[in-house]
Amino acid sequence: MININGTILIQTLNFLIITVILNYLLFKPLLNIIQKRNDHLARGKKEIEDIESKTQNLITEILEQEKSAKIKASHERTELKNEAMKEADKLVSVAENSMISTRQKIDSEIADEMTKVRVSFKAEAEKLVDQITEKIIGRSVAV
């Protein structure tokens, strides 16, 4: 037969009090920090996707411009024969050079943005690790 005495009630009460205290002092702040980190990462990912989308749109636009220039050059060639052929070659060359330089510029901008985002994420992650460690240990951690 099981006897319920005062100690089991005190232990149960202690457990409930500690659970409530830990919930407010540890679990909720920790979950808030994790949520903020996840939100920050999601925003960064969205920014990267937006940049990639813009890059893809620019590439498509440049390819359409190149296609348009080639069609125009073809019409001029048929109308002006030899003279138009020379002019078309010049236009295509300029368009290709423009496309290459624009693409290189875009690739450079993307690389710069990726570097900035990675540095930002790394710094933010280190801050979060320090904050979590301080919360768990209860004192400042010197590295």
Query: Is pLDDT above 60 for 143?
Result: no
Which residue has tokens 């004192």? 139
Q: What is the DSSP letter of 138?
A: S
**Domain range enclosing 116:** 44-137
SS3 63: helix
pLDDT tens readout for residues 124-135: 998 888 888 888
SS3 string of 21-45? HHHHHHHHHHHHHHHHHHHHHHHHH
CA distance 126 to 26: 19
Arithmetic mean of pLDDT over the chain: 89
The answer to the question of residue 37 being in a domain is: no
Whether 34 is in a domain gets the answer no
Kindly report, residue by residue over 26-71, the tens digit of the pLDDT: 999 999 999 999 999 999 999 999 999 999 999 999 999 999 999 9
pTM greater than 0.85 (yes/no): no
Residue 81 lies in a domain: yes
Asked if the structure places residue 97 within a domain, the reply is: yes
Q: Does 80 map to a domain?
A: yes
- 115 within some domain: yes
CB contact at 8 A, 41 and 118: no
Number of domains the chain contains: 1
